[in-house]
Amino acid sequence: IPDIPTIVKAARKVNPNIVIMIDNTWSAGVLFKALEHDIDISIQAGTKYLVGHSDIMIGTAVANARTWDQLREHSYLMGQMVDADSAYTTARGIRTLGVRLKQHQESSIKVAKWLSEQPEVKTVYHPALPSCPGH
């Protein structure tokens, strides 16, 4: 589990103007709010969590005010757009995102706790466990 604040701080120390991006797919942009951690651009594969059924290929990019114009310009020049069906299907998936994420969280905590009790397992890194750095 990366120590995001330390990584961002080190990068900004080397170059205060560096553009920092993160693949925020596994948090679905909900469980980890990247822009609140001095990240400039947060990207995610919407196919995984947002859509919920892996039947649409879509991605997202969210930027802070400092990098928004640059991101928008590059997206325009690259011809990136989404069709109406993909937008609708993604919106449909977002309706159940909270329920799905809650179930994933509960299940992952059960598995992590079970693993931490196994004598064959030395360490379990799960953000919800107090033993995890950055908990």
Q: For residue 104, count CB atoms less than 10 angstroms from its CB and return exposed for 0-12, middle for 13-18, buried for 19 or more.
A: middle
- Note the pLDDT tens digit of each residue in 12-64: 999 999 999 999 998 888 888 999 999 999 999 999 899 988 889 999 999 99
SS (H, E, C) 54-113: CCCCCEEEEECHHHHHHHHHHHHHHCCCCCHHHHHHHHHHHHCHHHHHHHHHHHHHHHHH
Domain boundaries, the chain: 4-95, 97-135
Task: Inform me whether the pLDDT recorded for 134 exceeds 80.
Answer: no
- Note the pLDDT tens digit of each residue in 112-127: 999 999 999 999 999 8
Q: What's this model's pTM, rounded to 2 decimal places?
A: 0.82
Task: Inform me whether the pLDDT recorded for 5 exceeds 80.
Answer: yes
Q: At 135, is the pLDDT very low, low, confident or very high (cuts 50, 70, 90)?
A: low
Architecture of domain 4-95: 3-Layer(aba) Sandwich (3.40)
Q: Tell me, what's the pLDDT at 71? A: 94
Distance CA 105, CA 126 (A): 10
For residue 4, which of 41, 40, 28, 34 has the smallest C-alpha distance?
Answer: 34
- Note the pLDDT tens digit of each residue in 59-113: 999 999 999 999 999 999 998 889 999 999 999 999 999 999 999 999 999 999 9
Q: Tell me, what's the pLDDT at 95? A: 94
The radius of gyration computed from the CA coordinates of the chain, to the nearest angstrom, equals: 18
